[in-house]
Amino acid sequence: MNDETTDFPPEKRLEPPNPQLIRAGIATIYDLETLRECVGYENANQRRQFVLDLLARRAQEIREQNKDDDGVHDE
C-alpha cells in the first residue's frame, strides 16, 4: 500500500453518498497500484457498475499518461 492509499484509502474514495464525490475520488488516483486497490475494494463490496466503469476509464487515462511520460508517441 502506497502513501496515497494510506492517506486516502479506497473506502473514502468510493463510499461517499454523492456520486460527484466518488468521481472526484477516482479522478485523484494517479497510479495503477491505488487504482487496483480501489477496484478490489469495489468488487469486494458494492460492485456498482458505474464505479467500475469510472475506474476502468481512469486506468486507461493513467496508462496513456505513463506511455506519454516514457517518450512513446503515436505520431
Domain ranges of the chain: 3-69
Residue pair 29/35 in contact (Cβ under 8 Å)? The answer is: yes
pLDDT of 7 reads: 82
pLDDT at 69 exceeding the cut of 60: yes
Q: By C-alpha distance, which of 18, 34, 47, 67 is closest to 26? A: 34
Kindly report, residue by residue over 14-47, the tens digit of the pLDDT.
999 999 999 999 999 999 999 999 999 999 999 9
CB atoms closer than 10 angstroms to residue 5? 19
pLDDT of 63 strictly over 70: yes
Q: What is the mean pLDDT of the chain?
A: 89
